[in-house]
A and B are shown apart, each in its own frame.
Chain A
Amino acid sequence: MSDAILSVRDLKLSVKGDAGLAQILDHVDFSIHPGEVLGLVGESGCGKSTLIRSIMGLPPKGARIESGSVTFKGQSLMDPKIAQTLRGREIGFIPQDPFQAFNPVFTVGDQILEILRWSGLPDDPKGGRYTKELRAKHRARLIEVLHAVQIPDPEEALTRFPHQFSGGQRQRILIAGALASRPSVILADEPTTALDVTTQMQILRLLRELAKDFNVAMLFVTHDFGVVAQICDRVTVMYAGQTVETGTTRQIIDAPRHPYTGMLMACHPERATEITGIPGQVSSPLTPPPGCRFAPRCPRATEACTTARPGLDRRADGRRIACIHEKEVA
């Protein structure tokens, strides 16, 4: 396996708020390799958004990284200066809600070209000024990418305002915005959640093809295993801020090993014979249970689960599972 381009190592992050210290992330650990699509799965509120923002070097206000690291090709994204130079250029971003992400009073062309203005293209002259020629070149590149995301008449589309596009079209343009600067990794934050089902399928198909064509790695955040099956090469599952299981999509979907993964998958309407749900509630990050955070809701939990956080151990088949009971089985 080639070297990871993006690694999150043992990341522990807390946010100080009015209600106290919230331990949002607790030893999150995964990495992305060139060209692969990694699914990040978890319920709402498990810390996915905070994680994404921390990877971009924009942790929420009051956040403190207590331990661990986030690195892109060896450079620390916890350094705001480094993160600022990598955002948009090496790390593309596709937001969750195409209806809210655009600034309503500027043309989409202005907004996407602004990304390229600061990221530049790999073959731009170094240290030069932002000239008319450079803008024209960026524009040409953007039009090329808009063709790739199947926006009809890209030239004209650039002069239009966000509200003049449908949700699906807006998401295509945002995808183009993420791809245009030739990044090596794209963070996609539930990019299909806000769209209706038929559009979702089109966008997913498009993303899968583009990831291959542009040879770009992707961190694909979702809560939907159906989406995972369609697009991801590997999956990492989070529960209440902890990484619980990582493996290839086949491994996880065919045989989930962590109890939470299994139960979450059983909640998917297409897979479940009968929807059971997961009893209990996600623990509050203000008062996380000691040890495994899933223990209070886990049918297999024992005394030992509540005393120490289970390590994210690598198994013979390459997957990693944070559950002491899985050790026994394996």
Chain B
Amino acid sequence: MLLFLIRRLLLIIPVLFGLLLLTFFMLRLGGNDPAAIMAGDNATPEMIARIREELGLNQPLVVQFWDYLVSVLRGDFGVSLFSQRPVSEDILDKLPATLELTLVALVIATVLGILLGTLAGVWRNSIFDHSVRIVSVAGLATASFWFAIMLQLVFAMGFEILPLRGRLPTGMAPPPDITGMYIFDSLVTGHFAITWQAILHIIMPAVTISLGGVATVARFTRSAVVASLQSEYANYEQAVGYPRHRVVFPYVLRNSLVTPVTQVGLLFGGFISNAVAVEAVFDWPGLGSYLVQAIFTSDYQVVLAVTLVIGAIYGVVNILVDMTQGLLDPRVAEKM
């Protein structure tokens, strides 16, 4: 298991290298000249040329890539052209907000998806099953920014039971900084009033992001449960007197989780890209809004660094997913 973990962690390195290579050249061959944007609208060609020289932008691209790679390996992601702060500081500021949001969305998608999928599979072709199917098709087809605005209209403006935007009410100080994730930090330090507010604020954006995930997990769980209930071992378990509820839980369910869990890992990437739009709607100060802003201003150092960080998180999440599969299925664990 340990060897598997090390091997998988090492495998992330070439993946990230490829990601960086691709993003770097796509950005730089895209036609935008960062020097021109930095210099502003009224810049003279001489000023632009000077900036280009200062930033090393007049070097061949391959050399620039090599220089960038070396500085990244030293932990230096450069300085944001826009905020004039080191990119790594900006990211450390914004990452926890996005991480908290996507992790909560992941929990919602997993728990709710597995619950709905299992019940739909057990009560196959019932009204409940059909409802879940309809709702999940709708969930997959819904644009998240639209859904986000609808949630705001109904729950924040209409019923006024959930806060409209942000991570905490204005004026409330964030909890002592441990991870930067408010729910976790406030729980650990005992600031439960903040926990409650943080949960209220995260509900709508997290639900919006998880929507497609709930639908995907529910559908995969359902079909796995249906297949597993028809399997020889489920027949055997009934024939030797297991009560029906035991056949379903844990015996059938544990067999049915392998596919949905794989999906959860794949979904995580989608969650982060969803977060870009959803963070904008809910004014959530995360990486998503930061990245959008960077793309609009051709702040290529930021785009590269954020892409790299998201890629690394994605890789780690999928290693965790594979390890969960090992816990679920001993045959998988043996191959690790």
Contact = CB atoms under 8 A, between A and B. Distances in A.
A93 B330 CA distance: 26
Chain B interface main SS type: helix
A189 to B, nearest CB: 9
A97 B232 contact: yes
B329 interface: yes
Contact of B240 (A92, A97, A106, A161): A92
Contacts of A84: 241, 243
A118 B239 CA distance: 12
Given A87-B240, A95-B236, A104 B246 contact: no
A330 interface: no
A93 B331 CA distance: 26
A177 B240 CA distance: 9
A114 B237 CA distance: 9
A114 B238 CA distance: 11
B67 to A, nearest CB: 51
A118 B242 contact: yes
Interface string A290-318: 00000000000000000000000000000
B242 A115 contact: yes
B232 A100 contact: yes
Given A100-B233, A101-B233, A104-B329, A115 B255 contact: no
A132 B38 CA distance: 72
Interface in B225-278: 231-233, 235-243, 246, 250-251, 254-255
A89 B241 CA distance: 8
Nearest to A87: B241
A88 interface: yes
Contacts of B246: 114, 118
Contacts of A101: 232-233, 235-236
A119 B241 contact: yes
A103 B240 CA distance: 13
A149 interface: no
B16 interface: no
A90 to B, nearest CB: 10
Nearest to A181: B241
Interface in B132-177: none
Interface in A68-107: 84, 87-89, 92-93, 95, 97, 100-106
A103 B251 contact: yes
Interface in B203-241: 231-233, 235-241
B37 to A, nearest CB: 56
A173 interface: no
Contacts of B330: 104-105, 161, 163
A56 interface: yes
A58 interface: yes
Contacts, number: 69
B328 interface: yes
A85 to B, nearest CB: 8
A6 interface: no
Contacts of A111: 237
A178 interface: yes
B240 A93 contact: yes
B240 A88 contact: yes
A95 B239 contact: yes
B143 to A, nearest CB: 38
Contact of B239 (A56, A89, A97, A105): A56
* Central interface residue in A87, A103, A104, A114, by most chain B CB within 10 Å: A103
A161 B250 CA distance: 16
Contacts of B254: 105-106
Nearest to B327: A105
A106 B241 CA distance: 17
B6 to A, nearest CB: 25
Given A95-B232, A114-B246, A104 B240 contact: no
A106 B330 CA distance: 8
Contacts of A178: 240
Contacts of A100: 231-233
Contacts of A58: 238-239
Contacts of A53: 239
Contacts of B331: 104-105, 161, 163
B327 to A, nearest CB: 10
B191 to A, nearest CB: 41
Contact of A118 (B232, B243, B251): B243
Contact of B255 (A93, A97, A103): A103
B89 to A, nearest CB: 46
A102 B243 CA distance: 16
Contacts of B235: 95, 101
B241 A115 contact: yes
Interface in B294-336: 328-331
B236 A118 contact: no
A104 B255 CA distance: 8
A105 B241 CA distance: 19
Interface of A: 53, 56, 58, 84, 87-89, 92-93, 95, 97, 100-106, 111, 114-115, 118-119, 161, 163, 177-178
7 contacts: A58-B239, A88-B242, A103-B255, A105-B329, A106-B250, A106-B251, A161-B330
What 5 pairs across the A-B complex have the smallest Cβ distances?
A: A88-B241, A100-B232, A87-B241, A101-B236, A103-B233
